[in-house]
Amino acid sequence: SILKPIFYGSLLAATAAVGYGVYGLYKEQHPAPLPVETQSNKKKLVILGTGWASITLLKSIDTSLYDITVISPRDHFLFTPLLPSAPVSTVAVESIKEDVSTLIRQGSGKVTFLQKEALDVDPQNKKVIVEGDKAVDYDILVFSVGAQPNTFGIPGVYENALFMKEANDAVILKAKLKENLQKATELPAGSQERKDLLSMIVVGGGPTGVETAAELQDYISEEVAKWNPELAADCQIHLVEGLGNILGMFDQKMYTLAQDHLKKNGVALKLNAMAQKVVGNTITVKDSKTQELVDMKFGILIWATGNGTRPVTAKLMSRLPETQNNRRGLLINQKLELLGAEGSIYALGDCTFHKGLVPTAQVAHQEGEYLAKVLETRHIIDNTDNDAVKASLAKTIKDFDYFNQGALCYIGGESAINDIKMSKKIEFKLGGSFLSFKVWQCAYLAMAVTWRTRFLIACDWIKVHIVGRQ
Ligand code: FAD
Ligand code: NAI
């Protein structure tokens, strides 16, 4: 029958995929030994950050062409798309982290890693000042320090809210969630005090806020409700958004689907509600239609209202006041060169502001890949004496051309909304179904930067199905 070839075909494809994965994993874990270098006359390439832009660049470039130093306070790469899944153990925090020491060993050249925060850049003298007043010289600097959570100066946020940006944020939220659930068991069921403690407010209806609220709701409905239904009944997840809808990057049909789905699953959606201040365990929100101020009590407050500029980025802007005059991010040209320091500084990812480029991993990743090619061409240009060859090679450096592959967002209850662009003409939208969830899972597995993380994430997902979350 027809089923036989399909079965054997699928078996063959699955075996090939597993074989390829095992081979990838083996290669990752057994990097080739590096050649012993004597005196290096290579150009000094300094890369700030170990996030999406910098790690993609490192993975894509021939690391033997430059004398590369990576500087970052973070000794790991973080797979941010699954960070909201970590506080409730849908995936383990360790499964979405990859050590920089592993990543820098994948290429054919030596890469030095300095685990320090860059405090300042001196574009005139081509130096980066790092913690401990140490100066690091560069010929070419890649500035990719990302962004930090934006609080818009709203009082009380830093003191009372948790964030969802770094791996440690997931660890802190997990601990707080467990602590509150435990404390709540000691309070009378149904009491206001217990409900206030179990009130979890997420501010910001962008994808970070939505995915965090969705994961928390999954945890309450699928885990807490299993072992203590009375406790689950007193839990409430709130999602507070200042605008009239959540997920502004999706079309109306998709965000309406997401809103209805979240509500159906038990998330209390508060739209047109602008957070104004936080005092202790109370947040005040203003209804933008009626101007009415409403106080909401919480046991956990998660702040997810988008990106702000890091101090080192603001400092760099202040060093180039003639060209860097946009508070939202560093201004770059079409070749990702920093305006005011063209030729010596490139800026990538969330620390930049450029028309048509949104602060996403997708953009940072494509920028990293693009810059790897640019720097490889520059290396050939720098090592050629022939001016005609230099000029013709320089012409081959094309402008960065971003291809938007669409957006995906997990909305809870094994469902997602996906707006996928396969090419400039082929696009499909899928939302609200189990299939949308499987597509979302496959897309993120494909996006993982190492086979190790890909393997661990897949195992975590299987584990949730078999033994639930802890
Ligand atoms: P980052 O990845 O943030 O990396 C910045 C690096 O710079 C870090 O290593 C940091 O430690 C380092 N650094 C900071 N300060 C300094 C300093 N002073 N000196 C040196 N180094 C420094 N995008 C998507 O496309 N799809 C998604 O599904 C998605 N999900 C997300 C989920 C969450 C919870 C979050 C927070 C973001 C998500 N994003 C997603 C957005 C995506 O993570 C960012 O756009 C992306 O990380 C930007 O890459 P980057 O390299 O510019 O910055
Ligand atoms: P965001 O900027 O996308 O959304 C922030 C939301 O907070 C906005 O809807 C805004 O109206 C709201 N807001 C701002 N101030 C507020 C206030 N005082 N009170 C109430 N609401 C307020 O931020 P987010 O979600 O952190 O995303 C940052 C970037 O990372 C975006 O570019 C996003 O596309 C990307 N990202 C992508 C993901 C995905 O593709 N699945 C997941 C997470 C982030």
Give 26-63 pLDDT, tens digit per residue: 777 777 776 666 567 899 999 999 999 999 999 999 99
Of residues 202 and 432, the one with the higher pLDDT is: 202
Average pLDDT over residues 442-464: 96
**Centre of ligand 1 from the C-alpha of residue 160, in Å:** 23
Ligand 2 pocket by Cβ (under 6 Å):
154, 203-209, 211, 240-243, 248-249, 274-275, 304-307, 358-360, 407-409
Nearest bound ligand to the CA of residue 85: 1
Where are the strands (E) in 88-152, listed by range? 97-99, 111-114, 118-122, 127-130, 134-137, 140-143, 148-149
- At 412-421, the pLDDT tens digits run 999 999 999 9
Pairing of strands 199-203, 300-303: parallel
What pLDDT score was predicted for residue 242? 98
Which residue owns the Cα nearest ligand 1 atom 52? 349
| Ligand 2 atom closest to Cα of residue 204 | 7
Residue 389: CB atoms within 10 Å: 12
Which residue owns the Cα nearest ligand 1 atom 41? 360
- At 70-129, the pLDDT tens digits run 999 999 999 999 999 999 999 999 999 999 999 998 888 999 999 999 999 999 999 999
| Ligand 2 atom closest to Cα of residue 249 | 34
* Per-residue tokens: 363: 């953009």
| Ligand 2 atom closest to Cα of residue 359 | 32
| Ligand 2 atom closest to Cα of residue 304 | 26
Average pLDDT over residues 334-348: 97
Nearest bound ligand to the CA of residue 364: 1
What pLDDT score was predicted for residue 37? 66
Which residue owns the Cα nearest ligand 1 atom 32? 81
From 52, 212, 215, 305, mutation site for ligand 2 pocket: most ligand atoms within 8 A of C-beta = 305
ipTM: 0.98
Cα separation of 356 and 277, whole Å?
A: 32
Burial class for 174, CB neighbours closer than 10 Å (0-12, 13-18, 19+): middle
Which residue owns the Cα nearest ligand 2 atom 32? 359
Which residue owns the Cα nearest ligand 2 atom 2? 306
What pLDDT score was predicted for residue 198? 98
From residue 44, alpha-carbon distances to 18, 65, 141, 370, 397 in Å are 39, 10, 8, 19, 20
**Centre of ligand 1 from the C-alpha of residue 295, in Å:** 32
The finding on whether 49 has its CB within 6 A of some atom of ligand 1 is yes
**Per-residue pLDDT at 307 exceeds 90:** yes
Cα separation of 429 and 247, whole Å?
A: 15
- Most confident option among 8-17, 34-43, 451-460: 451-460
- At 150-195, the pLDDT tens digits run 999 999 999 999 999 999 999 999 999 999 999 999 999 999 999 9
What pLDDT score was predicted for residue 23? 79
Give the CA count within 13 Å in the CB-facing half-sphere of 236. 17
What pLDDT score was predicted for residue 39? 60
Mean pLDDT, all residues of the chain:
95
Nearest bound ligand to the CA of residue 204: 2
Question: Are residues 59 and 50 in contact, defined by beta-carbon separation less than 8 angstroms?
Answer: no
Question: Are residues 144 and 53 in contact, defined by beta-carbon separation less than 8 angstroms?
Answer: yes
Confidence of residue 470 (pLDDT cuts 50, 70, 90): confident
Q: Which of 184, 218, 231 is nearest to 90 (CA)?
A: 218
What pLDDT score was predicted for residue 34? 67
Burial class for 63, CB neighbours closer than 10 Å (0-12, 13-18, 19+): buried
Residues above pLDDT 90, as percent of the chain? 87
What pLDDT score was predicted for residue 35? 65
Confidence of residue 21 (pLDDT cuts 50, 70, 90): confident
- At 346-380, the pLDDT tens digits run 999 999 999 889 999 999 999 999 999 999 999 99
**Centre of ligand 2 from the C-alpha of residue 166, in Å:** 15
The finding on whether 156 has its CB within 6 A of some atom of ligand 1 is no
Question: Are residues 190 and 236 in contact, defined by beta-carbon separation less than 8 angstroms?
Answer: no
Residues above pLDDT 70, as percent of the chain? 98
